[in-house]
Amino acid sequence: MLLLPAILAGWLVGVVRARSFGRPYQLPELRFLWLVFVAFLPQFAVLYLPGLRKLLPDLWTAILLTASQLILLGFAWLNRARPGMGILFAGAALNFTVMAANRGFMPISPKTAGHLNPNLDVPSGSRFGLKDILLPPEATRFEWLADRFLLPAWFPYQAAFSAGDVLIALGVFVLLAYQDVHKRNST
The per-residue pLDDT for 187 is 41
78 and 118 Cβ atoms separated by less than 8 Å? no
The better pLDDT of the pair 154, 93 is held by 93
The per-residue pLDDT for 183 is 53
| pLDDT surpassing 50 at residue 119 | yes
The per-residue pLDDT for 128 is 87
Determine the average pLDDT of the residues in 9-23: 95
Task: Provide the H-helix boundaries in 49-162.
Answer: 50-55, 58-78, 85-101, 110-116
Determine the average pLDDT of the residues in 164-177: 97
Domain residue limits, the chain: 3-23+30-176
Of residues 178, 172, 16, the one with CA closest to residue 89: 172
Whether the pTM exceeds 0.85: the reply is yes
